[in-house]
Amino acid sequence: MGLTDSIATRSKELSQKWADLILGTYPEQTQVVWRKNRDHFTNPVGSAILASTSELIPLLLTWNDAAAVARSLEQIVKIRAVQDFTPGQALSFVFLLKKLLRQEFTKELAARGELEELLRFETRVDNLAVIAFDLYVAARDQIARMRVDEVKRAHTNIVRRANLMKADVTAQKAD
């Protein structure tokens, strides 16, 4: 059985293992709570992680729909973009899939002399990282934009009044 077939057969198990590794990037006390609670609304981070990993592994196998890949990455990237992570830590979750694949398949493939199959597949994971990077930067840009917009909205009527007064002053000068 080739690598992609093995991944496909074990898709559910691998999604869970990848999700476990991602949960491992959070403090221990937090992991305990987030592993226990499967509710989508009271544990949105835990459930987003599992949703993303479950969707992404099949998408990596078919690898023909970049938009779908981005959609499945978006929530987890947006979440990690506002958590206390450096950009590198935030996106490290993608590379944890590499770690997992190596853990699971290296020995077996090496024994068969087919290690390059893994390296070939890892190119897709690298591409996943690039897509995640785009989404991360878009999220950070949005945060910056929202800060500016919020300040403007907070003073709508004050600015309106100030502009009217400015118009008055200019009109008088023109006379």
Partner 1 sequence: MAKIIKPDELLKSINYTPPAANWMDLPNDLSPGRFAYPAKQDKVEYLMHEIPGQFGNPRQWRPEDVDWKLPSNWKEIVMNGFRERLDKYRSLKLFMDICVRCGACADKCHYFIGSGDPKNMPVLRAELMRSIYRGEFTLAGKILGKLTGARVMEEDVLKEWFLYFYQCTECRRCSLFCPYGIDTAEVTMMARELLHLVGVNINWILEPVANCTRTGNHLGIQPHAFKDIVEFMVDDIETITGKHLNVPLNEKGHEVIFITPSGDVFADPGIYTFMGYLMLFDAIGLDYTLSTYASEGGNFGLFTSADTMKALNGKMYAEANRLGAKWILGGECGHMWRVVNQYMDTMNGDMQGPQMKTPVSPITGTVFENAKQTKMVHIAEFTADLIKHGKLKLDKSRNSDIIATFHDSCNPARAMGMFEEPRYVLKNVVDQFYEMPENTIREQTFCCAGGSGLNTDEIMEIRMRGGLPRGNALRYVQEKNGVNTMACVCAIDRATLIPLADYWAPGVKITGLHELVGNALILDGEQERTMNLRQEPLPGMEEE
Instruction: Return the half-sphere exposure (C-beta side, CA atoms, 13 A cut-off) of residue 55.
Output: 19
Under the criterion CB under 8 A, does residue 166 sit at the interface with partner 1? no
The amino acid sitting at 108 is E
Percentage helix, strand, coil, to 5, in the chain?
A: 85, 0, 15
Answer whether 94's CB lies under 8 Å from 128's CB: yes
Q: Quick one: 156 or 172, whose CB is closer to partner 1?
A: 156
Q: Which residues contact 140 (CB under 8 A, 6 or more apart)?
A: 81
Q: Look-up: residue for tokens 């938009």?
A: 67
Neighbouring C-beta atoms of residue 118, cutoff 10 Å:
18
Q: Quick one: 2 or 24, whose CB is closer to partner 1?
A: 24
- Residue among 34, 60, 132, 135 that touches partner 1 (CB under 8 A): 34
- Residue among 2, 9, 12, 30 that touches partner 1 (CB under 8 A): 30
- Minimum CB separation of residue 94 from partner 1 in Å reads 10
Distance CA(70)–CA(82), nearest Å, equals 18
- Residue among 1, 67, 156, 169 that touches partner 1 (CB under 8 A): 156
Under the criterion CB under 8 A, does residue 27 sit at the interface with partner 1? yes
**Angle of CA points 30, 97, 126, to nearest 5°:** 130
Answer whether 128's CB lies under 8 Å from 107's CB: no
Under the criterion CB under 8 A, does residue 160 sit at the interface with partner 1? yes
Under the criterion CB under 8 A, does residue 141 sit at the interface with partner 1? no
Under the criterion CB under 8 A, does residue 45 sit at the interface with partner 1? yes
Q: Quick one: 33 or 66, whose CB is closer to partner 1?
A: 33
- State the residues that interact with partner 1 by CB under 8 A: 24-30, 33-34, 37, 39-45, 48, 78-79, 82-84, 89, 92, 95-96, 98-99, 102-103, 106-107, 110, 115-116, 119, 139, 142-143, 146-151, 153-158, 160-161
